[in-house]
Chain A
Amino acid sequence: MEFRISKQMLVFPSPRKEMSLLNPKIKRARLPSLLTLPLIQHRGPAAVPIVKKGDRVLTGTKIAEPGNASSAAVHASTSGTVKEIGEFPHPVLGKGTAIVIEPDEKETPDPAMADRENTDLSLEELSAVIKEAGIIGMAGGGIPTHLKLDALKGRSARALILNGVEAEPYLTSDYILMMENILEIVEAARLFKRILKLPKIYLAVGDDKLEVVERVKSKLFSLSENFLEVVCVPARYPQGEETLLIRKILPDFRPGGNPAGDVLVLNIATALAILDAVKFRKPLYERIVTVTGECLPEPKNLLVKIGTSFNDAVRNCKGFLRKPERVLMGGPMTGVCVEDLNAPVIKGTQAIVALPPEDTRAQEVLPCIRCGLCVQACPSRINPCLIALSVETGNFDRLRTLEPESCIECGNCSYVCPSKRPMFQWVLEAKGIFPV
């Protein structure tokens, strides 16, 4: 028997999505004077450069090979010349090796990007196409997508969920992408259905995006197709997280992770990138980024070439209105604080959020008052309160029984804590002590 504390005591982060939706279309960002393409844009070993200084590259030319099976390729995002290969700012790592391209502003596409006539691929071929196109999880996870397919190891997938929930505050890139690519969503679903030999595909959409649900459903109706099931889930953070989504959509699925790896969850941007790679042999060299926050005069969703610096991307929104206290890559719950705004947009940059000082001021950390709000807020149903106290006191025997390894790293515990304790960091510390 499982008890679930009601969520009535909790305050959830306000969505703050409206500001970037005032410009309801995707705008193409201006081509910057230099593009910095880091060799590590994914979780895994670095890619190996295959160009040298002075080489001429075209839009979509592969400039770095995957280092090994769990790495991802990097492609030139515009035509131009390789100016330098060296250490440059990186949004996550601080510094990292990168290839700098000076654009010639002609945008000549690489001839390799030719339409594919036969899109009837096998699973292995699809995995190879994805690896060739350098596609990684575009919602910030950064795991190379071909690894997810390879994890099936020849077994058939049990289900595929296209994830368009986007429950994190500020982010609207997936919403805009879905609104403008309804037919492509259906096409991508059809492609996966055929390759994975599934009877139907799930599309999970947050219930704040009912327009998307309506549009996809009417498109399916006019095509008289019914293989795509649109599931409306509560757009309450962290509903978009993989294990929670699986649990929500496939209720008979065992909670506590995806041990067999036979339920695939693909972010909708990743799925559409795969469709482009299959149909047009187009590698992942540009993506939609929500550039938003209270410090920007004109928040919008931009189609940004990978390698554009944060500063250049922000300039498309008329620069900063006031000096931002923190600029984040990704949303405010799971994002990364970017110190150097010369760092480039990478494949996993879902958003650039400029947070105002009033949201980010340091507050005093007070003792735990055992209010239990973190226990109620935890979607993994572990006990962050006792985990944090055990980490503080070094009680490792107790810690083991509290199962910190079930944490999905959503950050809710820190968010709700009225004493402003760094619960999330403590749980991560505990998770590090007992790796899975």
Chain B
Amino acid sequence: MGSGSERNFSGMMLTDTKQPPFLRTPDSTSRMSRRFFAALLPVLAASVWVFRWSAVQTFSLSVIFCVLAELFWSRAFGKSFRIREWSSATTAVLFAFLLPPGVSWWAVLLGSFAAILLGKMIFGGLGQNLFNPPLVGFAVLTVLPGFDAVISREVLTGPDWGSVFLETGTGMTMGDVSKAAVLFGAALLVTRRLIPLWSPFFYLAAFGTLSWLFGRNPLADLLAGNTLLFAFFYVTDFVTAPVTFRGRMIFSAGAGALTVLLKIGQDTPAAGIYALLLMNAVAPLLDSFSPGTVSKRRSQPE
């Protein structure tokens, strides 16, 4: 335990109010998670509008299983259970976005437990995880034999302007239904200062540029599938990204570029997921590349 803090009777660490600064920002981790969750609601509402009961079913199952998984872990290892941080609910919704509606309950169960336990809890809980938890949940589903058919879906081709607002094809996942809803949620994130605009910008710019260089249709690629959703809701997760500006820039652009490269190998919607998981793995390395300091040695007089 570091200096400047004390523990209260229940073992919680408290701020030391006798040490400067005596004023603290009104923002808090739980408020930020609540706001992030609120920004997911437009996409969630759109997919419930399209898929009706089956979407409600998948979302609620996912939330229930994720909260249960976190409860299970905190009971088993005596950690304090922090439901008011909304982090497991956010993970649950982000995981459900990757699934087709009405997917069988055991797939949701397995994915949710993998997302919370393998994706977050074994690293030490909120803020300590190396990989984006919903993506871990999905990746576990794809590698298990027999699950591939459950979650696989068609690749959409060509921008269809009507479909930007509401798509109702077969083989859709719940997060892909409305690009307009994604953009509305993204606007909420940006205006409420939860994500900086440049992070999705670098992702989309790298994605579009590389897609164009490889002779694909960049506009089709950008509007197809889950690219926009990824740019605003998954790439911007700061727990699994570097903390410095330079690091985050490389991280976002790298994830975008890698997605295109994986798409060329095999055009699957899971390309974005694997690209981001790979970049998550190198995020700590990117941090040490760019310590973000103005070197004192450089500033010394000759």
Contacts and interface: CB of A to CB of B under 8 A. Distances in A.
B245 A3 contact: yes
Given A11-B25, A335-B20, A402-B293, A260 B4 contact: no
Nearest to B249: A3
Contacts of A335: 20, 22
B238 A2 contact: no
B270 to A, nearest CB: 26
Interface in B126-159: 126-128
Contact of B196 (A5, A254, A257, A426): A5
B28 A372 contact: no
A369 B86 CA distance: 14
* A interface, over-half SS: loop
Given A367-B127, A383-B244, A403 B24 contact: no
A396 to B, nearest CB: 14
Given A365-B14, A372-B244, A418 B193 contact: no
B18 A337 contact: yes
Nearest to A4: B245
B301 interface: yes
Interface residues of A, number: 71
Contacts of A398: 288
Given A386-B287, A422-B2, A426-B4, A364 B14 contact: yes
Nearest to A357: B17
Given A368-B127, A422-B5, A411 B20 contact: yes
A414 B61 CA distance: 39
Given A364-B13, A383-B293, A424-B4, A372 B238 contact: yes
Given A366-B127, A417-B25, A405 B17 contact: no
A385 B127 CA distance: 12
Interface in B233-258: 238-239, 241, 243-246, 248-249
A426 B32 contact: no
A259 B245 contact: no
A22 interface: no
Contacts of B300: 254, 256, 259
Contacts of B6: 362
Give the one of B22, B31, B128, B291 with max A CB within 10 A: B22
A420 interface: yes
A364 B13 CA distance: 6
Interface in A350-386: 355, 359-372, 375-376, 380-383, 385-386
Contacts of A220: none
Contacts, number: 194
A367 B298 CA distance: 34
A310 interface: no
B16 A422 contact: yes
Give the one of B3, B15, B287, B295 with max A CB within 10 A: B15
Contact of B248 (A359, A372, A405): A372
A9 B27 CA distance: 11
A97 interface: no
Interface stretch (A145-153, A194-202, A325-333): A325-333
A181 interface: no
Interface string A378-418: 00111101101001100000100111011000011011111
A140 B288 CA distance: 36
A13 interface: yes
Contacts of B298: 256
Give the one of A335, A414, A424 with max B CB within 10 A: A414
Contacts of A361: 17
Nearest to B12: A364
A4 B29 CA distance: 24
Contacts of B18: 326, 337
A326 B2 contact: no
Contacts of B26: 11
Interface string B263-302: 0000000000000000000000001100111111011110
Contacts of A124: none
Nearest to B13: A365
B4 A418 contact: no
A255 interface: yes
Given A259-B300, A402-B291, A418 B27 contact: yes
B23 interface: yes
A180 interface: no
A363 B2 contact: no
B23 A359 contact: yes
B125 interface: yes
Contacts of B28: 363, 418-420
B78 interface: no
A363 B27 CA distance: 12
A118 interface: no
B2 A391 contact: yes
A418 B125 CA distance: 17
A224 interface: no
Contacts of B215: none
Interface of A: 2-6, 8-9, 11, 13, 169, 254-257, 259-260, 325-326, 328, 332-337, 355, 359-372, 375-376, 380-383, 385-386, 388, 391-392, 398, 401-403, 405-406, 411-412, 414-420, 422, 424-426, 429
The 5 closest A-B pairs by CB, nearest first: A425-B4, A256-B299, A422-B4, A411-B21, A365-B13
Interface of B: 2-6, 8, 12-29, 31-32, 124-128, 193, 196, 198, 238-239, 241, 243-246, 248-249, 287-288, 291-296, 298-301
Given A169-B23, A333-B21, A418-B29, 9 more contacts: A256-B296, A259-B300, A326-B18, A355-B22, A367-B125, A369-B238, A372-B248, A383-B292, A386-B291
